[in-house]
A and B are shown apart, each in its own frame.
Chain A
Amino acid sequence: MGLRIEKPGLLTTVQDTGRLGHQKEGVLVSGAMDAMALRMGNLLVGNHENSASLEMTLLGPTITFTQSHLISITGADLSPKINGEAIPLWRPVLVKAGAILTFGTPIQGTRSYLNIAGGLKVEPVLGSASTYLKAGFGGWQGKVLQAGIELDCNELSTHMFPFVKSLENGLGKEAFYATSWRPSPDLLPAYEPNPIIRAVRGPEYDWFSLESKDTFWQTSFQLTAASDRMGYQLEGEKLELQKVLEMLSTAVTFGTVQVPSSGNPIVLMADHQTTGGYPRIAQVITADYSKLAQVVPGRQIQFQEVTLEEAQFLYLKQEQNLERLKQTLSLKFTT
């Protein structure tokens, strides 16, 4: 055993980096909304970056660790505590068997990740542990976690034994022990409450009126309460097409900004449908997915245009940072 869910929280699901290779059959990618937080969180506990973690939304769950675990909490700051004492984010933390993890007031962001050394043990479906709620498969029985259930964890991999041993020495009588170090802040996603989200032009950008193109880049949009893992519903000045053109259904992806006839943009997120038929005014760059994933409903987003070259440069820089983190951690874990 590993974890017992005492209270499920608002929306707690098992996720990894997503279910790839089946969109051609209409199967959504799903996966973590803030995949970078999940990937870094897994690296911090010595896992493969794609291991299964818990995604917790705004109001976190209450969880009892039924055995001792090395964990990390990454992503949004939802005030995590162990046995009532605040624990730091973005660090490896050793918790004792019987320790109880709770969450309090959301301080920053929407989605937090609980990553456990070894990873959560769930049966992969079509190659992924991610929960796909609408079709009811993946993760824990295809559902949100419920009170009373227990989740297994895979065993700690042997390369982590010496590191865990060293943390045990620091543990003493406390319920948990966190490392004194954490990744350099410039490696972590830069969350903001009302972020500027960079995007490139979408394939149907030129279908929009000149005025609407300006509006899109120069005004801000509010994230409405109807937003979910499938898409962010934005509200602002209405966007209009130059003329109504018939569009054939075609593939869409995470960060695609569609504009239905209402004129209010929708940004597709982790549980987006595989194909769509609304004009695509823009496409959020991958390097800003984390920032986007953490916006709280009611807050504002402002889009900023970048070129494809800039978008790819930022993507590669982010992956280079992750490589740097991997190298640093491999030194920490072997000494």
Chain B
Amino acid sequence: MPKSAHLDTSHIQLFPLGDSALVVQFGEVIDVSIHEQVRAFAEYVEVHPFYGFVEQVPAYTTVTVYYNPWLSSLKGKVNPYETVVVWVQEALAKMTSASKKTGKVVKEIPVCYSSEFGPDLKFVAENSGLSEAEVIALHTAPEYLVYMMGFAPGFPYLGGLNLSLATPRKATPRPTIPAGSVGIAGEQTGVYPMQTPGGWQLIGRTPLALFKVHRETPSLLQMGDTVKFVPIRPEEFYQLQTEHHGS
């Protein structure tokens, strides 16, 4: 799995997002090797921040680097954007030889798949021409890759759904979806970390809290993690919920 990340930097594009952010684009499609470059650069900039660095947000094919132009320009002495561009180019060049990847972490997410916790399980099964048991088997088989986090706290963008489970979103979104709901939208699958409105087809629910602000690491999942869904019974759901959320 951890292959020597020999970064070919020729295809990497740099462009501004306004006056305080720079986008580093590694490719144009969802792809594991692009993801590894995104992850390597995101980790590099966190460990070796430049003067004026604010934060970085990795996505499928991009890392957006936020900077403070007042600081990165040394209080107006040099061009802030150009300074960050030069830094990024040097960082990318240095990374070509750096290839220390840790082994993958598989995080198990227990999910209770049922019509009670996943009101659209039946619909997804009918839509795919499968039985509910087959849907559960197909959904729990793969190891999903967390390509990115975003939109809401702790929300993972997962890749690896078996395409026979792809189901269109609901025509009308539900006004509230309980936290922990596991859903399918097109070829995506994911878990809602908190109660929100949403149009995904819900097939189950996890008792784990994907985001707890006072936990040492608030987000249960991080970009680059590997996720495996494990089916549980309703009794286990309630038991784990009590343990995990505390009271």
Give chain B nearest CB distance to A17 CB in angstroms: 11
Given A135-B213, A249-B60, A274-B57, A308 contacting B81 (CB threshold 8 A):
yes
Q: Could you tell me the dominant secondary structure of chain B's interface residues? A: loop
Given A24-B55, A251-B57, A256-B17, A275 contacting B69 (CB threshold 8 A):
no
- Residue count of chain B within 8 Å CB distance of chain A: 50
Chain B residues within 8 Å of A255, by CB: 18
Q: Are B20 and A248 in contact (CB under 8 A)?
A: no
Q: Are A275 and B59 in contact (CB under 8 A)?
A: yes
Residue of chain A at shortest CB distance from B214: A125
CA distance A200 to B195 in the complex (A): 36
Chain B residues within 8 Å of A295, by CB: none
Identify which of residues 187-226 in chain B touch chain A, using a CB-to-CB cut-off of 8 Å: 193-194, 196, 211, 213-214, 218-219, 222-223
Q: Does A320 contact B (CB under 8 A)?
A: yes
Q: Are A273 and B60 in contact (CB under 8 A)?
A: no
Residue of chain A at shortest CB distance from B76: A316
Q: Which of A4-12, A99-107, A280-288 contacts B (4 or more CB under 8 A)?
A: A280-288
Q: Does A27 contact B (CB under 8 A)?
A: yes
Q: Among A20, A251, A308, point to the contact of B19 (Cβ < 8 A).
A: A308
Q: Are B213 and A286 in contact (CB under 8 A)?
A: no
Q: Mark A287-309, 1 if CB is under 8 A from B, else 0.
A: 00000000000000000000011
What size tier do the contact residues of chain A reach? 35 or more
Q: Are A273 and B151 in contact (CB under 8 A)?
A: yes
Name B residues whose Cβ lies closer than 8 Å to a Cβ of A: 15-21, 23, 28-30, 42, 54-62, 64, 66, 69-70, 73, 75-76, 79-81, 148-155, 157, 193-194, 196, 211, 213-214, 218-219, 222-223
Known: A22-B218, A249-B157, A315-B20. 7 other contacts (CB 8 A): A25-B222, A26-B150, A26-B219, A134-B194, A256-B17, A273-B150, A276-B151
